Amino acid sequence: MEALEQRIEALEAKNAFQEDLIEQLNQEITIHQAAIAEMKEHLHLVAQRVKDMAPSNVMKAEDEPPPPHY
């Protein structure tokens, strides 16, 4: 009977440890999800700025001077 009680106590301790670990992992996932969402928003803003800038930085073909051999 004592061996059975020891096994039950060991299982309860293991279960408590696993519950604590799951809670810690859940908190980490929540933090990482928030960081990913923020990075996605920043990436979207940067992509929008690049898209807005791109046409002004590229010369039109007719505005480009001819090559030197012409």
Confirm whether pTM is higher than 0.85.
Answer: no
Give CA–CA dist 48/42, Å, rounded: 10
Structural domain boundaries of the chain? 2-52
How many residues appear in the chain? Answer: 70
Predicted confidence (pLDDT) per residue in 12-63, tens digit: 999 999 999 999 999 999 999 999 999 999 999 999 998 888 665 556 666 7
pLDDT at 68: 81
- Single-letter amino acid code for the residue at 41: E
Give CA–CA dist 39/34, Å, rounded: 9
